[in-house]
Structure 1
Amino acid sequence: MGQEESAAHKEVDLAQIQELCTTFMKECPSGALHLHEFKRIFGIQRESEEESAYIETIFRSFDANQDNTIDFMEYVAALHLVLRGKLEDRLKWSFKVYDTDGNGRLDRREIIYKIKMRNTDYNMTPSEVCDRIFELLDQDKDGQISLTEFLEGAQQDEWVMDVLKLDVNVSGWFIHNRNKDP
């Protein structure tokens, strides 16, 4: 019985992947999703310089082979991470997106930038939110948050988790564009 359920679950996953592939190839006949298409899909038309940089960072995080396109396999990997990935893996991905200078540590500028991009009202200014995050996470008080501090802090405090966890709807764009003519 357990094997039958497992096999049925795999079949559903395979059917979903086949449907995603068909839709992806319809939307991206070249088999590659470029940054300008990625921005269009996420509804970014007239973005600010900050919004553009944020979307580009997300795009680069999905572009595993760094060829400036997202192919179908990279798209499926991103979907799996965002929709079904383990919490720790999603948090590691969030950290990577926030670490805009790529130094492996988050500074106040990167945290404030993330807070502004999220545009959520915490009844505090972005600086106050940042101060609270650093108070809770920066265990060694060096003015930067390491990946370890990020992972431990986010998992220990619900408010921090809410502020720091990156949620991106990367699957909705196929549904949104599914019935449109090219």
Structure 2
Amino acid sequence: MDYILTLSVLCRGTVDDKLRWIFRFYDITGDGQLSRESFADIIRSLYDLIGPTVQPRVQESDIQKHIDEIFEHVDPLQVEQITAEDFIEYCKRRPQLIDSIQSLSSTF
């Protein structure tokens, strides 16, 4: 059932629906907020999945730099937490990102 709901959101959902789904994907603790630590865990896991295909191998310092850049832009008040609303607002200000999400969903 979760698979069908996911496909439905990704294929037919609004931009907000898709962004909320992506946020929940990153929200591994389910508390509605992304901390640096939980976000780092997800980023490391994603790099581990694609690791052999990326050359040179991604270093921990690259991951930290990536996370720092994200939090600098998405968490300007420096509360060290990103809410779904913060995430959605940030993404919607990035037309290229929205286009990528929309084109991804059209491939389903």
3-state SS of the aligned residue for 1:125? helix
Matched residue type, 2:62: T
1:158–1:109 CA distance, 2 compared to 1 (3 A) = farther
Secondary structure of residue in 2 paired with 1:145: strand
Q: Which of 132, 137, 142 in structure 1 is aligned with 2:74?
A: 137
* Residue equivalent to 1:94: 22
Corresponding residue number in structure 2 for 1:85: 13
Deviates more, 1:136-145 or 1:150-159: 150-159
TM-score by length of 1: 0.43
Do the aligned partners of 1:139 and 1:149 also contact (CA within 8 Å) in 2? Answer: no
Give the C-alpha shift of residue 138 in structure 1.
0.5
Structure 2 gaps, min length 5: none
Distance 2:11 2:44 in 1: 24
Q: CA RMSD in A?
A: 3.0
- DSSP-derived class of the 1:141 partner: coil
User: After the TM superposition, which parts of structure 1 deviate over 6 Å for at least 4 consecutive aligned residues?
Assistant: 120-124
Structure 1: segments with no counterpart, 5+ residues: 1-69, 172-182
CA shift, 1:77, in A, is 2.5
Query: How far is 1:158 from its partner?
Result: 5.4
Give 1:116 deviation, angstroms: 2.3
Q: How many positions carry a matched residue from both structures?
A: 93
* % identical aligned pairs: 26
Q: How does 1:28-177 map to 2 (within 5 A)?
A: 70=1, 74-119=2-47, 125-157=62-94, 161=97
Q: Determine the C-alpha separation between the residues in 2 that align with 1:138 and 1:155.
A: 15
